[in-house]
Amino acid sequence: MNLDALHEEMRQWRRHLHANPEFGFEEKETAAFVAAKLREFGLEVAEGVGSTGVVGTLKRGSSNRAIALRADMDALRIAEQGELPYRSRNPGVMHACGHDGHTAMLLGAARLLAEEGGFDGTVRFLFQPAEEWGRGALAMLDDGLMQRFPFDEIYGLHNMPGVPVGHFETAPGQFMSAEDNFEIALQGLGGHAARPQATREVLVAACALVMDLQTIVARRISPTDIAVVSVTELLTDGTRNALPGMARVLGDCRSFKAEVSAEIERQMRLIAEGVALSYQCAAEVTYTREFVPLVNDAELTRHALAAAAKVFPPEAIRAEREPVTASEDFARFLDHVPGCFVYIGNGEHSMPLHNSSFDFNDAALPHGMGFHAAIVRERLPAG
């Protein structure tokens, strides 16, 4: 097929998706667009899998083996900045993480494989909702994904700002961290700003708590373990001349081991109780585990690298990428089958992910599509 024409189509798809972003579990127009394209390419299509997920199935030959390729479809509640001609038409929502590009690349691979074949077996194209929530993969699995559309292994990718376009990175073993969320509510007695002695105000306590939480990683977790504790919000019911009687400290934690996550929670509860006692207020800690660690299968990582070698030059392939403390709910699929997750470059000068001026680099589209097609042909060889 004419690859230049396909690349241009992918660019148009990507920009259409960028202009029409939808938040997690609200991807109705996106899902309809994806399903229509897959049917146009001749795939079997199931919609509404895990709420708004789409599964396309493509079979060739006689093998009973099946693999899955996954892309995420959801956008973020961020107001897009800048004057792109295809900027978001949905106020307050934008594709600030490149899921528009991920979807376009997987659609391109579906069309390429449908027209050219070159494999023997079944490919499941998973278009997943609500990755940013950490709920979309679970929703598809809870909706019977593995029973209705079985597969033996799974592959996924993400664009990476700072990495040159045309570069590829992965690694066996621990690759992306778990994410835990926390909220610590401090309750005291608010009052007039002129009479602090008549109150048990909680703002000073909250500030002390924010600082003390930094000691968890610095002093209470082994330096050989990777851990991050980040306070992201501090909210109170105070105003300019009123001391607050309530404060909420919120944030998230990253780790790769269950025992490290458990220790972070234990230390957080101890610190919160101690701070509350010293400032004569009460503390309540809510701690939840949102994402599990993403661990790449060693053997399938070798196959992913072999597939990448057919798309990327040797000097552009990084086979031992260090783990990152971002999280990805692709890991939920790895609880059921082995797989491998990889990064492709979005450009050295790309804005960061989740930035209001981020834009997926269209020059990366052929590389992601090429990897998807190559891993299918690597794992489901024809003839």
- Per the annotation, binding residues for Mn(2+) are 97, 99, 132, 158, 354
Rounded CA gap, 245 and 82, in Å? 40
What is the phi/psi pair of residue 90, to 5°?
-110, 100
Binding-site residues sit at 97, 99, 132, 158, 354
In total, the chain counts a number of residues equal to 383
